[in-house]
Amino acid sequence: MPQDKNTTELKQRLFGLLKKYSYKEGRVVLSSGKVADYYIDARIVTLSSEGAYLTAAIILGLIKACPALDLSGVSAVGGPTLGADPFLGAIAAMAYLDNNPLKTFIVRKAAKEHGSGRRIEGPALTRGEQVLLVDDVATSGKSLIDSIKALKEEGLIVKAAVVIIDRSEGAKEALAGVDCPLISIFKATDFRSQ
């Protein structure tokens, strides 16, 4: 990710909030089923005004200028519920204000059994559309891979996945196995070494 002065400042501010409010040491069972000696509850920060803004600004910066990938064709950003939910609205609003409107979407764990019965919620996405997948924390990558499968079943092209924090416990390798690069804003070791 390009590290201009503004990006560096945004990342420092987001890191400070995550370190202060989200990072906790102590035994915990993760959604992957693994037992860990620390937990990072990013939602505490991404559900705040400042945290949602910082996360959205950093991700939008990636879409505009990621040297590792060509994300210029991305027209929609979304991710698995509940990790991506808090900052997707901020991404949509900021993209609109920047005259570069993006659709946002949420991938449910399963299709609704009522109403429209949709698994992917949000504005209509068209077959062949390029999307960026986002989430708060990646451990094994299971929820991201499940979302990728759901999106591909709809004929969408998943260009990459971006997470706020990669716990470095297999998600990057698992996503590589389904041809989806994983980009992380931070690694869990960034928090553990501070």
d(CA 64, CA 26): 38
Task: Tell whether residue 143 is among the known ligand binding residues.
Answer: yes
Task: Tell whether residue 179 is among the known ligand binding residues.
Answer: no
Task: Tell whether residue 138 is among the known ligand binding residues.
Answer: yes
Task: Tell whether residue 119 is among the known ligand binding residues.
Answer: no
Task: Tell whether residue 136 is among the known ligand binding residues.
Answer: yes
d(CA 52, CA 26): 26
Place of tokens 């196995």: 177
Structure tokens at 102: 């993006």
Task: Tell whether residue 137 is among the known ligand binding residues.
Answer: yes
Beta bridge partners, 104, equal 77
Beta bridge partners, 161, equal 133, 182
Report the 3 state secondary structure along 106-122: EECCCCCCCCCCCCEEC
Task: Tell whether residue 109 is among the known ligand binding residues.
Answer: yes
Task: Tell whether residue 131 is among the known ligand binding residues.
Answer: no
Task: Tell whether residue 108 is among the known ligand binding residues.
Answer: yes
Task: Tell whether residue 167 is among the known ligand binding residues.
Answer: yes
* Cβ burial, residue 38 (10 Å; 0-12/13-18/19+): middle
Task: Tell whether residue 92 is among the known ligand binding residues.
Answer: no
Binding residues: 108-109, 112, 114, 135-143, 167
Binding residues for orotate: 139, 167
Binding residues for 5-phospho-alpha-D-ribose 1-diphosphate: 108-109, 112, 114, 135-143
